[in-house]
Amino acid sequence: MSSQQSSKPPSNTEPKSLPSGMALEGTQVVDISNFLAAPMCSMFLADFGANVIKVERPVVGDEIRRWGETKNGVGLYYKAVNRGKKSITADLRTPLGVEIVKKLIANADILVENYRPGTIEKWGLGPDVLMAINPGLIIVRVTGFGQTGPYKNRPGFGTIAEAYAGYAYISGYPDRPPLLPGFGLADSTTGLMAAYLASVALHDKRKTGKGQIVDLALYETLLTLLGPQVVNHDQLNIVQERAASRLPFTAPRNIYLTKDQKYISVGGSAQSIFERICLALEIPELALDSRFADNRTRLANIDALDEALQNAILRFDRAELMERFIQLEAAISPVNNIQDIFADAHMASRENIIELYDDELGTGLRMQNVPGKLSRTPGQIHHTGPRMGEHNREILIDKLGYKESDLSALGIDFSNSKKSIT
């Protein structure tokens, strides 16, 4: 893949109709959410064929349009997170906006929202109202602290969730303050979990015909992913502390500096892998040292182990180390930055990054592809995130039967709208 983006539509990246037979083909999703976690939920659903209609506030749209980097005034992150969706504009705080949502959910399978508890109820769009219209509706509610509990009304964002769930506490060096991740970890993992829970509820609906409410707090997924911390504290009263790149249950596991001042990651809790690491580094005697006889003894002598490995690694350039480790089937990886990822042959072969033409930017736009490979019903990105209100005419006029003149008089803009497409 070229490092330069296309200035015209590549022949294989133009917007196209989704193929038939996708796993979520025919699934109707209404997304009234903002920012990241909940929109990522509907993004994953769209990746597998769901028809997602995103409802954005007129003029301002989703806040993520102005979040992060822009190009020619266009929010880049929006383009990735809202790929495959259709955009309409409606103010949910108005009778018209409420009416539009009610019409949309009448035949929908899933509604995705992430407002504070009580907000959509205040607008007249609470679950009782919506499920009276459509008893089979699945309502995915993503909030900072959930719909219940003493903290339910607190404002919650990914940063807050990463601290509250215990992730930040164990991140960083022992002698330094806790660290937050360098990307929206809580939001991203919550988006994945929300899509999973929505799919579970959808599976149940196809058996029973009944909808339900999915109540997911931002911190809950990270709490689940903290590994053995809960059971360890419950049974042994252990509080895991910060240990930089180490883990308290596997050794070696760290980042090391090479002779040419580059970084690698090495891991090998299994004894066979550890022995291969030692062979690759030309220090086979290290594997015979009683201090490093197995994973448990290595953990007890971790400082000595890391010092020995680092001293050995400093004798080699990264490229040579990679060759040595790969030949011996020892576990190693370069510490990649995003430039390295763009140039990586393996990721290219698996199409982990895909290019699609974006007509708003007038160029090819690369983003992460659908994760995972399904042999029979693979996911596929239809198009990049739409212009604000790009599908106003298709949805509001052609599908819902409104008159353009009436909606224009009420502030609905059609300047970005295209003619209907199948």
* Contacts (Cβ under 8 Å, ≥6 apart) of 191: 36, 37, 38, 39, 40, 41, 43, 44
Residue appearing with tokens 């992430």? 114
How crowded is residue 231: how many other Cβ atoms within 10 Å of its Cβ?
10
Q: Distance (Å, rounded) from C-alpha 215 to C-alpha 193?
A: 11
Q: Is 187 a catalytic residue?
A: yes
Q: 234, 242 in Cβ contact below 8 A? A: no
Q: 284, 347 in Cβ contact below 8 A? A: no
Q: Distance (Å, rounded) from C-alpha 369 to C-alpha 351?
A: 7
How crowded is residue 295: how many other Cβ atoms within 10 Å of its Cβ?
17
Query: Interior CA angle at 239 toward 269 and 265, to 5°?
Result: 30
Which tokens sit at 312? 């050995």
* Cis ω for the linkage preceding 252 (within 30 of 0): yes
3-state secondary structure of 168: helix
Residue of 31, 62, 91, 187 marked active site: 187
3-state secondary structure of 250: strand
Which tokens sit at 27? 């699934």
Which tokens sit at 278? 């030692």
Q: 56, 388 in Cβ contact below 8 A? A: yes
How crowded is residue 31: how many other Cβ atoms within 10 Å of its Cβ?
29
Q: 129, 98 in Cβ contact below 8 A? A: no
Q: Distance (Å, rounded) from C-alpha 241 to C-alpha 109?
A: 44
Q: 293, 301 in Cβ contact below 8 A? A: no
- Listed in order, strand segments (DSSP E) in 125-252 are 138-143, 212-217
Q: Distance (Å, rounded) from C-alpha 328 to C-alpha 266?
A: 13
Write the DSSP assignment of 337-357 as a string of letters.
Answer: -HHHHHH-HHHHHTT-EEEEE
Which residues are designated catalytic?
187
